[in-house]
Amino acid sequence: MLAHAAIADPKRGRLIHEERAARAGFALAHAQTGRTGVWIDDWRLVLEADRYHSQIEAREFDLDLTFFASDKPLLQGEAGFSRKGLRPEEASYYYSQPHLQVLGSVNGRQVDGSAWLDHEWSSAYLAPEAAGWDWTGINLFDGGSLTAFRMRGKTGGVHYAPPGVSFEPVRLWKSPRTAVEYPVEMRVRARGMDLVLKPLMDDQELDAGASSGTIYWEGAVRAFEGKNEIGRGYLELTGYSRPMSL
């Protein structure tokens, strides 16, 4: 079992993150199947009635947050079955909980805000021809939400994307640590919307070499329609350092 936790703080200028890895059993790590209930050591995310509770104690930060769900889960794809490629097995079961209300503390300071939860599971959804994916989830200020993704091919271009979804890099950022280039500013077209996603800060690279063995970019972004900011969320960019292996 693997866990990643991170904070995007512009005052620090780069992503603060930590990771955990453990085998399930002996009360050290566990994932329930009847509900959301997962923990590794003293890291945990548990669903209790209509609220999620998460506790993370890391070397540089600690989180104690409660997320309140007011709506039914948003089923992604076809009633929760999300295709990731041309073959039937290249798919996942996938739902989201956008616009979760958040209360709690970060490093002992009281915070509140809006959050997003994704829950996705599959036996194997990454095609052998795919290098990785670009994904975004945006809480729109009008109460709506937007999810979009594409699977990139190892030889370039797009291996798979839902109908009407496109990603176009606007600006690249090169990591000073790994020399990997990421399209941290991205133009996304989906569901009739034409958005430009701009990062809260450029350096949101996550090196998970000690757990999943991957290096990727996952960070907070602001969504603009023209000059107007219309939402905030996350952008995930994988497979840019080397093809993902799942």
Write the burial class of residue 71 (CB in 10 Å: 0-12 exposed, 13-18 middle, 19+ buried): exposed
In whole angstroms, what is the distance from residue 100 CA to residue 97 CA? 7
Cα radius of gyration (the chain): 18
Q: Are 90 and 52 in contact (CB under 8 A)?
A: no
Residue 214 belongs to some domain of the structure: yes
Write the burial class of residue 98 (CB in 10 Å: 0-12 exposed, 13-18 middle, 19+ buried): buried
Residue 211 belongs to some domain of the structure: yes
Q: Write the CATH number for 50.
A: 2.40.370.10
Residue 242 belongs to some domain of the structure: no
Residue bearing tokens 């009008």: 142
For residue 27, the model assigns a pLDDT of 77
Residue bearing tokens 């993704």: 149
Residue 243 belongs to some domain of the structure: no
For residue 188, the model assigns a pLDDT of 98
Residue 195 belongs to some domain of the structure: yes
For residue 25, the model assigns a pLDDT of 82
Q: Averaged in consecutive runs of 10 residues, what is the pLDDT profile of the chain (246 residues)?
A: 92 92 87 92 93 95 95 94 91 96 96 95 86 97 96 93 97 96 98 97 88 86 98 96 79
Token pair for 191: 């569901």
- Number of folded domains in the chain? 1
Which residues constitute the domain of residue 59? 2-237
Residue 231 belongs to some domain of the structure: yes
Residue 245 belongs to some domain of the structure: no
Residue 226 belongs to some domain of the structure: yes
Please give the angle made by the CA atoms of 105, 220 and 184, to the nearest 5 degrees.
Answer: 160
Residue bearing tokens 């990643």: 4
Backbone angles phi, psi at 215, to 5 degrees: -125, 125
Write the burial class of residue 238 (CB in 10 Å: 0-12 exposed, 13-18 middle, 19+ buried): buried
